[in-house]
A and B are shown apart, each in its own frame.
Chain A
Amino acid sequence: MLFGKYLAKYYKKYWALFLIGVVMLIVVDVAQTFIPRFLGRIIDENNELIADLAQLGEIVGYVMLCAGIMFAGRFVWRISIFRASTGIAAGLRKEMFDKAEKLSSSYYHITKVGNIMNWFTSDIEEVSDFFGWGTVMIVDALFLSASCIVSMVRLNPWLTILLMIPILLIAVWGLFGDRLFTKRWEQRQAEYDRLYDFAQENFTGIRVIKSFVKQTKEIAAFSKIARKNQDVNVRYARLNVLFDVVIESVIILAMTMLLGVGGWMVYATATGTPSIIFGQEVKLTAGELMQFVGYVDLIIWPMFALGNIISMRSRAKGSLKRISAFLDTPFDVVNPLDGVKLENAKGDIEFRDFTFVYPDGTTPALSNISIHIAPGEHIGIVGKVGSGKTAFVNALFRLYNVEKGQLFVDGHDIMECDIPSLREVIAYAPQDNFLFSDTIENNISFSSGAVDHGKVEEASSFADVKENIESFPRGYDTVLGERGVTLSGGQKQRVSIARAFYKDAPVLVLDDCVSAVDVKTEEIILGNIKRQRAGKTTLLIASRVSSVSQMDKILVIEEGRAIAFGPHHDLVKTCPAYAKMVYLQQLEREVEGGGANG
């Protein structure tokens, strides 16, 4: 059995199913051990039964009854035990997802999604398997073997003791073999992965290979790996076959011992010279000997399970440990108790000597920023890639913790605000324009549960993507992503802007999200912002000056520091860095517009 604090509630929930399952398994185990007894009678009382069909009918009736009980029992235990084990899997998955939703960005920054996925998939499967097949194996190993051994001992204890030697060998071999298997299997998997990776890399880097005319060499290298695969596969197969052959040979030896010693006992009994052990006559009939054959047949699987269950449990234990560690991850961004609930927010934001360091960083991403954004102001934030612009977003949404007394929304320290209410106040169009594989409509209306189609259209025209969407055959019902339509970078950005606008929040943050749209579209969107966000606080982060020049004020960031803050016409005069950006921008426009005067 497997225990842990995250499993207790499942035991509580599913104990009845487990109990029913285990009881049924035991019933089946016991019923199974009756069959050899009937075989023994049929052989020993052969002549009598041929003469007395009524008695034969009784035996056959019992066989049918056992078969019926087994059928019902097997059906019930499969349903109940696997219902419980899949229930545990579903429950753990749910708990883990809810946990994942509460973990902050800093957790995702340091933990690879691939690792989390492994905990969600193979580790949960391992634990659930243990509760399913593991339970079956444990019960069978204990009860089927006990039931068999009891029957055998009652029939002939000496023969039983003799047979236990090879039978226990099967359990040992099961334990030992499983370890060997795991090792070889991993080896084989590793070689296969190598083959797969090599092919994958070769096909991806085919350009290089062709440009250096190295196909022949690559084929030779692939051949080496393919050969190695051939070898490890043959070795694995050999282990597999050997494993079976050894078990089967042990069984044959056990049967030989049984038939030899048992046959001799039957002979001795028949000739009236039974051997005497500890003063007792050891008697055996041919039917009883066959009954023994039946028991040996039955006891092989539980012995094998006995060996297997140990390594199965250790794997499940390891998986459970990783799952528990994930569920135990401490939260770093915690919603304050009695936090200030922002209602009817005005959209006033103040950075007061604001410095921001990422949890794993040494140098601040932003330092000593002091600006005040009045309600309704449109602010542009401009700077090169890596200048620290995104840190504003991470702080403003409390995706990370910030120092107290440095960042205020509507006059409230952000560290004292209720997080959901804070996030309700601000709408966001991200830099990486991440969209879900869902319909366009659901993506745009992501911020609210109910879809208002009119608002979706309005938001689409705000982001100048309405025509694009409507040109798709399925319009707003177009499904995006892997199995759906792929949008161009610019279209994605605009859908993501529409999603942010749909929220109609007091504060709108657009994080470098017009970089992939052409100049004309950008101008339309900027115009829409000016008109439709008039009187509502709007922050536009950009790397191009043209994007921000029409904002009320512009903040220029360089290496995490604010080097200027003011309206465009002021900055052109007072900030040389800004003026240079403006000049280069104009030049770029001319170059891209065509060398008409060249």
Chain B
Amino acid sequence: MDDEKERLSGDRKMSLGEILRHSRPYVAKEKWAIIFSLLLIALYVGAGIALPMLTSQLVRVLQEETNSQTLSMVVGIVAGYAALGLAEQGVLYLQSMTLQKAGQRIVYGLRMEVFEHIENMSLNQFNQMATGSLVTRACNYTAAVSDLFTSVLVHLISNLLTVFGVLGIMMFISIRLSLYLLIFALVAGVTSFFFGKIVRRIFHKERQYISDLNAFLSENLSGMRITQIFNQERRKSSEFDEKNQNIRRANYQVVLAFALYRPFLNLLYYGSIAVTFWVGLSIALSGAEIVAFYLYLSRFFNPIQNIADQLNQISRAVTAAQRLYSLLEVQPEVVDPPDAIEIDHFEGKIEFKNVWFAYEGEHWILKDVSFVVEPKTTTAFVGATGAGKTTILSLIVRNYAIQKGQILIDDIDIATIKIDSLRKAVGQMLQDVFLFSGSIRTNLTLHDDEFTDEEIRAATDYVNATPFIERLPNKLEEEVLERGENFSAGQRQLLSFARTILHRPQILILDEATANIDTETELLIQDSLEKIKTIGTMLVVAHRLSTIQHADNIIVLQSGEVLEQGSHQALLKKRGYYYKLYQLQYAEQEG
């Protein structure tokens, strides 16, 4: 959690009060569970204190002059011991489960809130945040925050109750002996607290050395070729040695710290037993009373160690809470204006009016771009890398807000349309097809169960994807590995088309992939593109000759400006920039 890499730019320090205020809604829901388990804890602690008392009483009864009642008292005490002991365990079970369930409900609630919050952030915010840090927040820190309330704080209370309960009853038996023992307890508590702080530092160092070595290993195993080519095995081996020894030294420090701490606590424990024997008999305590002290001592030291540990845990949980709540404070950047309009049908006229756009500052990607795309026509965007083709497509769906000018769909400024209704209408087929791990079905429906098998079949038929899906052993249920790596680039492309078609778009944008695709699949793709075009207005960043040849209009971009536009034949006749571009990028495909 101390790792710098895990931090986001928005993280800030919060006071404990602020954290508690943020946590209130989650904890308040579970207040009855928490109160109930606190009551159970009181019972549990009570039983724990009563048990040694029974043993002590047994000794007392056995050491007194025997009489007619002795045996029945023995039976009574032992029966009481069994009943109380088992009841104690029953209460422990009930208490732990109540708390665990409440804690898990809080984790669930927090996770959902964080996940939903992240889902609603804007795309450019995603680009600024490391995915790993977001994942850690949704998965780990939520659990850490819940632990604070359902484990750390509650157990702290339980341990405090035990310590004070045991101390109270010891004082009841003998104040003097108890005060002696209190000294031992305080030493144990203080030692544990500081040991916790020190050992955390050593652990941190050890972890760092370990991750250092792991980073070195993964780098050097991947780059072994270079080391071998440069004959530097010996040097790398000695670098490894150094890191290896670092770990060993850090390991040793951990061992040393524990080798002092654990035996020391043990020494305190046995020391306190010696004191009990000495002081106890000096003030003429009975055997039964000594037994009580002896048994209580073992119930005294553990809670003290735990309290010290829990105090240390609180500070760690606070860090987690800060990170989590800081993230929840981040507001999405591209949002619907309050009076945004919902539109469910578009004719499909698209117009750019003097659009200026930069991802940051004054680095204009688009400079005063204007064009009109008529409904139900296909427009291809061409140009060299970095000319701004892909940017135009991403502006239409408002992934980013433009700085100057206007983008209109059906003569309505898209800034006034609800983002969701805009994106529902626009089917996007992106260049690097992203497939999720899961099945083909979940990749097409994206977890939307409303689609019937017939609809899915119709979509895969439409884009010529059915034959290859049918050839798979599990058909639609075939497993898709991470990022779809078990499918070829062409197959991924077809799946992406099918996904888009299934969602019934009215406007289509396509960023054609440049990847190498085998000839057979290439033909299938071309054929399905012909069909897709007829669905509605289509904007394409074209890499295929056939795509631009069949476009109604071609817009040629250069460094963010519209250079030429017209049909393929007309532009070729001009023998200008497009002509060269055509020869370079597309002429080869003719053969």
Residues of A within 8 A of B (CB): 35, 38-39, 42-44, 46, 49-50, 53, 56-57, 59-60, 63-64, 66-68, 70-72, 74-75, 78-79, 82-83, 86-87, 89-90, 93-94, 97-98, 100-103, 105, 108, 113, 116-117, 120-121, 192, 195-197, 199-215, 217-223, 226-227, 229-230, 233-234, 237-238, 241-242, 244-245, 248-249, 252-253, 255-256, 259-260, 263-264, 266-267, 270-271, 286-287, 289-290, 293, 297, 397, 399, 420, 423-424, 426, 428, 430, 434, 436-437, 446-447, 449, 481-482, 503, 584, 587-588, 590-592, 594-595, 597-598
Contact = CB atoms under 8 A, between A and B. Distances in A.
Contact of A447 (B116, B232, B503): B232
Contact of A591 (B123, B252, B288, B384): B384
Interface residues of B, number: 133
A472 B74 CA distance: 85
A263 B82 CA distance: 14
A255 B85 contact: yes
A244 B235 CA distance: 52
A234 B104 contact: yes
Contacts of A249: 85-86, 89
A213 B248 contact: no
B116 A219 contact: yes
Contact of A253 (B66, B77, B82, B229): B82
Given A428-B229, A598-B578, 4 more contacts: A35-B273, A43-B291, A423-B229, A423-B231
B22 interface: no
A428 B576 CA distance: 43
Contacts of A423: 228-231
A56 B104 contact: no
B270 A66 contact: yes
Contact of B278 (A56, A192, A424, A447): A56
B168 interface: no
Interface string B530-553: 000000000000000000000000
Nearest to A505: B230
Contacts, number: 372
Q: Which of A44, A117, A234, A436 has the most CB of B within 10 A?
A: A436
Given A117-B221, A204-B131, A217-B446, A71 B245 contact: no
B387 to A, nearest CB: 10
B226 A259 contact: no
Contacts of A248: 85, 89, 92
A63 B576 CA distance: 102
A82 B255 contact: yes
Contacts of A592: 384
Interface stretch (B11-19, B171-179, B258-266, B300-308): B258-266
Nearest to A446: B230
Contacts of A437: 215, 219
B570 interface: no
A394 to B, nearest CB: 9
Interface of B: 55, 58-59, 62-63, 66, 70-71, 74-75, 77-78, 81-82, 85-86, 88-90, 92-93, 96-97, 100-101, 104-105, 107-108, 111-112, 115-116, 118-120, 123, 126, 131-132, 134-135, 138-139, 210, 213-215, 217-233, 235-237, 240-241, 244-245, 247-248, 251-252, 255-256, 258-260, 262-264, 266-267, 270-271, 273-274, 277-278, 280-282, 284, 286-288, 290-291, 294, 298, 384, 397, 399, 420, 423-424, 426, 428, 430, 434, 436-437, 446-448, 482, 499, 503, 558-559, 563-564, 576-578, 580-581, 583-584, 588
A209 B111 CA distance: 19
12 contacts: A46-B281, A70-B270, A74-B262, A94-B240, A100-B221, A121-B210, A207-B434, A237-B97, A289-B62, A423-B228, A423-B231, A587-B583
Interface centre among B100, B424, B499 (most CB of A within 10 A): B100
A64 B235 CA distance: 54
Contacts of A426: 229
A98 B226 CA distance: 16
A242 B89 CA distance: 9
B104 A75 contact: no
Contact of B277 (A60, A241, A259): A60
Nearest to B276: A42
A218 B581 CA distance: 42
Contact of B120 (A215, A217, A430, A590): A215
Contacts of A204: 131, 434
B230 A101 contact: no
Contact of A79 (B135, B255, B428): B255
Contacts of A74: 259, 262-263, 266
